[in-house]
């Protein structure tokens, strides 16, 4: 169960990071609210997962999921350029995160 919550929390990290960028310095109400709600839920899920998972692995998985999804979403929406190198580097993050999960006892 801790892994499922950790993955969901990583997805919520991408939500709050994207909402933060769209809040324009917290001057836009809806993205600011989405940021706050997703941030609290994401941190709460990470905290819950850390009750059962090692902090180093859990944090790396959480950040890796959030960073990969945030960058992927930005490329998919045209906010950032899509290049082969960027895709390969994101896949590298995913591969490293999967490796950390596979080596956790």
Q: Which domain holds residue 34?
A: 2-102
Banded pLDDT at 62 (limits 50, 70, 90): very high
Q: What is the pTM of this model?
A: 0.90
Query: So what's the pLDDT on residue 13?
Result: 98
What is the tally of structural domains in the chain?
Answer: 1
Q: Cα dist. 3→26, 31, 51, 104 in Å?
A: 32, 28, 11, 11
Flag whether pLDDT at 104 surpasses 80.
no
In this prediction, residues 45-66 reach a mean pLDDT of: 95
In sequence order, which ranges of the chain are alpha helices (DSSP H)? 2-22, 29-49, 55-76, 84-102
pLDDT tens digits, 17-51: 999 999 999 999 999 999 999 999 999 999 999 99
Query: So what's the pLDDT on residue 100?
Result: 84
Q: Indicate the SS3 state at residue 103.
A: coil
* Exposure b/e, 66-98, CB count within 10 A at least 16 = b: bbbbbbbebbeeeeeeeeeeeeeebeebbeebe
């Amino acid at each position: 169960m801790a892994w499922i919550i950790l993955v969901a929390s990583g997805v919520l990290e991408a939500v709050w990071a994207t909402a933060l960028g769209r809040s324009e310095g917290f001057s836009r109400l809806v993205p600011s609210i989405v940021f706050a709600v997703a941030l609290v839920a994401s941190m709460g899920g990470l905290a819950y997962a850390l009750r059962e998972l090692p902090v180093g692995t859990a944090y790396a998985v959480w950040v890796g999921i959030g960073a990969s999804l945030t960058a992927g979403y930005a490329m998919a929406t045209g906010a950032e350029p899509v290049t082969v190198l960027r895709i390969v580097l994101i896949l590298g993050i995913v591969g490293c995160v999967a490796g950390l999960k596979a080596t956790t006892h």
